[in-house]
Chain A
Amino acid sequence: MPALLEMKEIEKSFNGSPVLKKVNFSVEPGEVHALMGENGAGKSTLIKILTGIYPKDGGQIYWNGEPVSVEHRKDAASLGIGVIYQELSLIPTLTVMQNVMLGKEQSKFGFVNARKMKQKVAGLIEKYGFHVRADEVVETLTIAQRQTVEILKALSEESRLIIMDEPTASLSAKESDALFGIIEQLRRDGVSVIYISHRLEEVYRLSDRLTVLRDGVTEAVLAKEQIIPADVVRLMIGKELSEATASNNLRTSDAPVRLKVGNLCKKGVFHDISFEIHKGEIVGFAGLVGAGRTEVMRCIYGADPYDSGTVEFEGKPLAKQITKNIANGFGFVPEDRRNQGFTPLLSIEKNVALTNYDTLAAGGFVKAAAEKKLGVEMVGRLAIKPGDSQIPVGNLSGGNQQKAVLAKWLSRGLKLLIIDEPTAGIDIGAKDEIYKILENLAENGTSVIMVSSDLQELLRVSQRIVVMRKGEIFTEFASGRITQEDVLMAESGILTSGAKGGAPQGEAGTVAKEGGTNG
């Protein structure tokens, strides 16, 4: 019997740099196939080629053994490939039934046959034992329920293959369990699933096979009995690389404490977050998507409210107001650079000035000369290119945009900088420059909190690394040299010998055991 899906020697380059180099990937009928790899390994590019969002440069896709061409999303849909998008793709004000049947309503003279459609959707819900009702309005559903609506949508199109990309990122443990039950049910029904996740324990539990991509190459295809956590991590990172990019000597600074967070809680998001940041330290925050890192940082900065706990800045309780925090020497570089970091239509000069009008304006009037001077100074200091402070930030390259965002804060006497994914979408050369800027800042006494999903970056820049997992601080690496493997395992709840911080929390032991029994 031919494989349901076979992708052979798929190639793809962006601007001349190859992202996929003759990748092979296949899915059998009724199989749950995990697709794993580090950020940038080529997973999402491969999926986008499969679903007709990107054209491929080379290779061939076979469906049930027949060569097929997938040029549009609808080509994929008509083959029977369904994709579970995040909750974004549903219409919140329509019912479950209306959403599932959207665009393929059963109707006569324009009048929809609500009863027939409801029967069909209710039938699917019953068959798979989902916990939603066909006539519920989507906006009243929880995220997990919305996800089941997405799955229903795919099932109603008779999909033979359903792609799930980080489906548990925003689900609770129980909700995830429910999802795994659904996946089991799909498998029994002969529906195949491509499961993309960074969560190792889910992958062991669910997958029949696992493909590891690394740097655009199929690194390994593992059968169920070969899936062993430590091996998978090693395959994802690559042994040589892992050792070559080990961390600096991690250390706890003895400089005075600048920020002290105690038992910070926000219901349903994170709990019992406690840590200290010293003067002139760079502390990395590692964790998977949905671990709660960004949420913690936003609360500390004053952008979101929290339920309980304390945040002290230089020994004094921190204000919950962004304006006051900025005046006290806080800086915040958000993850979503384009929407939250800068104002694209305004010049570099104006963007830099935005956080500095306390000194750049008098009586409501902007001091144009001072504003210009500061802009020119910052462009020079951070080597922003092109070196013209009048250019709108939206027209700069990613790296230079990030420098412009940093310039907003560096122009002030900064005591604490929180930076979220500092180099996402930035090319390698510019990454180095950004790291130098951060290191320079720390040398001059600024404390830096760096949230990052890039392991190499965490190891290279951080003096300590805090690992968050499922809304808690899982562990902290504060001494010795550690490798990417140590961090990646910790993110998945497995403690290696590298971890020296505190007693292991949570279910570290159980997960390790689970991995053991699988292997």
Chain B
Amino acid sequence: MRQENMRRLISVASLVILALVFGFTSNGFFTATNILSILRECAITGIIAIGVSFVIITAGIDLSTGAIVGFVSMLCANLLYNYALPAGLVMFISVLAGTVCGVLNGFVVTKLRVPEFIATLSTQYLFRSLVFVFAIREMGVITNKKITDPGILIMGGSVNGVYLVTITFFALAVIGQVILKKTKLGTYIYATGANRKSADLSGINTDNVRWAVFIITGFLCGIASIFEIGRIGSATTDLGTGLEFEVIAAVVIGGCAFSGGRGDIFGTAVGAIFMAVLQNGILKYNLPTAAQLIIKGVVIVAMIVFDSVYNQYMQKRIHQKASEEAQAAGGEA
């Protein structure tokens, strides 16, 4: 546990340092408006990242989240614009649609036995195609229409300046952390990722666990889509493109290992905020796009390298401890 707390402290510290760097080198970083806006920017990525953290802790991957958000957002916009359904019903359908996408992902992975990477790479195309099926058309041409339903636009709003999406993100993150640390499912998620054979031998149905994390991710994509429409007030066909990688970056920066069994939602939340701070801060420099992308790439790699160096260091310390004990034993014998 101590090691985990140490790791947490370090990731929060690196976030604070990054924020301080931007605070001192650019104008208008440490203003209430800007901070609230950062917390809004990180929220969509963060909500999805909670689910993807689960998936990555089981040693899986989900490349389809961006496409799910694209599809569900378009579905949501379509139902509101073309059918003028009540906002509450549309939101329900949206979350349901996202969840069904997750069910499908889990089915392909656990029942058809397709590795996660390939499975979600493929379903991504399916979900992206659904975007075009549900796209709003005028005279047969896809048209970007403003959504005016006040019910959905509330989702883009704020309470005392704090955006609803931010509040939802934090609430979901807390729930996610509780699931991971306090429930059977959470324990099984770690066990599945760290040592699947052994988890199977302990009587855990690891296929169900892997399916469950995809369903949770789909569900969260559905929720994220509602906030996306609430904020933008329209849906384009390329909405959510590349989002899956933002999400994965946040999860990995937050300390989840691709090899599985490691990480938590606290880390992921820090990772999502880290990404948003980085994005926001770089923009304030007024740098050319190329320079912005380079900085972003370098910082992400640096974070990951740090993480692996740190893990190796901890591993070495454990070995040292073991051989010291062995030596102490030799001395006494």
A residues near B (Cβ < 8 Å) are 73-74, 88-95, 98, 102-105, 107, 110-112, 114, 135-137, 139-143, 172-175, 267-268
Contacts and interface: CB of A to CB of B under 8 A. Distances in A.
Given A92-B261, A98-B187, A104-B202, 8 more contacts: A88-B195, A90-B195, A91-B198, A92-B195, A94-B194, A102-B191, A107-B184, A175-B329
Given A92-B261, A137-B3, A173 B190 contact: no
Contact of B203 (A93, A104, A135, A175): A104
B325 interface: yes
A89 B195 CA distance: 7
A102 B202 contact: yes
- Is the interface on chain B under 10, 10 to 19, 20 to 34, or 35 or more residues? 20 to 34
A110 B185 contact: yes
B202 A111 contact: no
Contact of B183 (A95, A111, A141, A175): A111
Nearest to B333: A173
B85 to A, nearest CB: 34
Contact of B326 (A74, A88, A95, A175): A175
B34 interface: no
Contacts of A104: 202-203
A298 to B, nearest CB: 16
Contact of A103 (B202, B261, B318): B202
B187 A112 contact: yes
B203 A74 contact: yes
Contacts of A173: 329-330, 333
Nearest to B322: A142
A135 B5 CA distance: 14
Contacts of A267: 323, 327
Nearest to B331: A174
5 contacts: A92-B195, A107-B184, A111-B183, A142-B322, A172-B325
Contacts of A135: 1
Interface in B184-201: 184-185, 187, 190-191, 194-195, 197-199, 201
A174 B322 CA distance: 12
- Find the residue from A135, A136, A174 having the highest chain B CB count within 10 A: A174
Contacts of B184: 105, 107, 110-112
Contact of B322 (A89, A107, A111, A143): A143
A89 B201 contact: yes
B182 interface: yes
A114 B195 contact: no
A442 B217 CA distance: 62
B316 interface: no
Given A89-B198, A137-B1, A174-B333, A268 B322 contact: yes
B262 interface: yes
B321 interface: yes
Given A110-B185, A112-B183, A172-B325, A91 B333 contact: no
Contacts of B202: 102-104
A268 B191 contact: no
Interface in B298-333: 318, 321-323, 325-330, 332-333
Contacts of A107: 183-184
B24 to A, nearest CB: 37
B323 A268 contact: yes
Contact of A91 (B183, B194, B328): B194
B330 A137 contact: no
Contacts of B203: 74, 103-104
Nearest to B329: A174
Contacts of B190: 91, 93-94, 98
B204 interface: yes
A139 B185 contact: no
Interface in B253-283: 261-262
B4 interface: yes
B183 A174 contact: no
Nearest to B317: A140
- Find the residue from A89, A91, A111, A174 having the highest chain B CB count within 10 A: A91
A268 B333 CA distance: 15
A98 B182 CA distance: 11
A508 to B, nearest CB: 15
| A-B interface, 3 closest residue pairs, ranked by CB to CB distance from nearest | A174-B329, A268-B323, A103-B202
A112 B185 CA distance: 9
A358 to B, nearest CB: 32
Nearest to A74: B203
Contacts of B187: 94, 98, 102, 105, 112
Contacts of A139: 318
A267 B328 CA distance: 12
Contacts of B330: 172-174
A505 to B, nearest CB: 14
A140 B3 CA distance: 9
A273 to B, nearest CB: 16
B198 A90 contact: yes
A91 B325 CA distance: 23
A112 B326 CA distance: 36
A88 B199 CA distance: 11
A102 B204 contact: yes
A136 B194 CA distance: 16
Contacts of A111: 182-184
Contacts of B322: 142-143, 268
Interface in B236-265: 261-262
B274 to A, nearest CB: 22
Contacts of B329: 172-175
A90 to B, nearest CB: 7
B326 A172 contact: yes
A93 B198 contact: no
Contacts of B323: 267-268
A437 to B, nearest CB: 36
Nearest to B185: A110
